[in-house]
Amino acid sequence: MRHDHLITSKQLSRADIETVLDRAAEIDADPSAVADRHANTLLGLLFFEPSTRTKMSFETAMKRLGGDVVDMGSVESSSVKKGETLADTVRVIEGYTDALVLRHPKQGAATMASEFVDVPLLNAGDGAGHHPTQTMLDLYTIRENAGLDDLTIGIMGDLKYGRTVHSLAHALTNFETQQHFISPESLQLPREVVYDLHQRQDGSGIKEHESLEAVLPSLDVLYVTRIQRERFPDENEYQKVAGEYQIDAATLEAASDDLTVMHPLPRVDEIAPEIDDTDHAAYFEQAHNGVPVRMALLDLLLSDDRGIRGEADE
């Protein structure tokens, strides 16, 4: 089917995902070929909570396609402060722009907003819900480094609150992957997410662990996320738990030489800086990939024959 909006990576089939990643690879190889492709196109940036990095990445992507952005600015200075509903805000701003990017603290915000507008809407994060452009750039990075089929991936850290993890895990069920989830018990995947993963893939592809040690040697990719201080009642407990999910050069001695280490950034101390210069480190590349991947998504959603549509779907 054709997708006019990008709300969650769950809506995308394997063919849809491959269409996006293939387009991103083409753009990545020759960005100049699309430098004017969307001249005179305006992208509206609606960020109801701050995320400078994601916003800059979208802005860069739109400008590299020849277009420009208009930014709602901070919530404090906008009509939202006066009590306007999201439904009204998106209906007003769609009249100014050719597409919208929305980040909002409430879950389901992008789904609802997309029901009120005709221009393409891209979800840049809805509370604890989805962040599909992050997922697509994660998938792109995995494909470039390790391939998406016959993949064994470890996803480690805060799996409870980390929405990037939920979206990624779900998207990976489209491929032949073995997923290992490594976290302290208190930060395990929510049962909703586990339920969904089991609906998608038989249980053998999904395993949960409290320690990295046993699975590390089998991994092609290790995806590390930050464990936040505020998830713990006191500093001691935090230090004790978080310390077990940090990696350094010594940790990686047990890993395969080809292991790719990823992180959605910003990191604090989950990955020691000494890993940055090794062949394992892919997290800066991953951050850079946000631009070609968002360019690909904008291009697909804004083209005359618009929509994300996997070729095998037709």
Partner 1 sequence: MSDDHDHHDGDDDHELRVSKIRDGTVIDHVRGGQALNVLAILGIDGTDGEEVSIGMNVPSDRFARKDIVKVEGRELSQDEVDVLSLIAPDATINIVRDYDVVEKHRVERPEVVEGVLSCPNAGCITTGDEPVTSRFSVLEDGVRCSYCERIVREEIASLIDT
Please pick, from the candidates 104, 131, 263, 280, the single residue that binds partner 1 as defined by CB under 8 A: 104
Determine, following the binding rule CB under 8 A, whether residue 278 of this chain makes contact with partner 1: no
Looking at beta carbons, which pairs linking 62-66 to residues 24 or more positions away fall under 8 Å?
62/38, 62/298, 64/31, 64/34, 64/35, 64/291, 64/295, 65/34, 65/35, 65/37, 65/38, 65/41, 65/295, 65/298, 65/299, 66/34, 66/35, 66/36, 66/37, 66/38, 66/39, 66/40, 66/41
Distance CA 103, CA 110 (A): 8
Q: Is 133 a catalytic residue?
A: no
Mask for 74-103, x = binds partner 1 (CB under 8 A): ---------x-xxx----------------
Q: Is 82 a catalytic residue?
A: yes
Determine, following the binding rule CB under 8 A, whether residue 296 of this chain makes contact with partner 1: no
Determine, following the binding rule CB under 8 A, whether residue 107 of this chain makes contact with partner 1: yes
117-131 in b/e form (b: 16+ CB < 10 A) is bebbbbbbbbbebbb
Compare residues 122 and 259 and give the one whose CB is closer to partner 1: 122
Which listed range, 127-135, 236-244, 256-264, 295-303, lies at the site for partner 1 (CB under 8 A)? 127-135
Distance CA 313, CA 2 (A): 9
Determine, following the binding rule CB under 8 A, whether residue 126 of this chain makes contact with partner 1: yes
Determine, following the binding rule CB under 8 A, whether residue 307 of this chain makes contact with partner 1: no
Residue type, 264: P
Determine, following the binding rule CB under 8 A, whether residue 111 of this chain makes contact with partner 1: yes
Compare residues 66 and 127 and give the one whose CB is closer to partner 1: 127
Determine, following the binding rule CB under 8 A, whether residue 106 of this chain makes contact with partner 1: yes
Least distance (Å) between residue 25 CB and partner 1: 31
Q: Is 103 a catalytic residue?
A: yes
Determine, following the binding rule CB under 8 A, whether residue 198 of this chain makes contact with partner 1: no
Please pick, from the candidates 105, 147, 217, 243, the single residue that binds partner 1 as defined by CB under 8 A: 105
Residue type, 308: I
Q: Which listed residue (23, 64, 103, 143) is catalytic?
A: 103
Distance CA 281, CA 271 (A): 10
Which residues on adjacent β-strands are paired with residue 155?
181, 223
| Contact call for residues 282 and 289 (beta carbons, < 8 A) | no
Please pick, from the candidates 25, 42, 128, 241, the single residue that binds partner 1 as defined by CB under 8 A: 128
Phi then psi for residue 260, to 5 deg, are: -105, 125
- By CB under 8 A, name the binding residues for partner 1: 83, 85-87, 104-109, 111-112, 115, 126-129, 192, 195
Catalytic residues: 53-54, 82, 103, 131
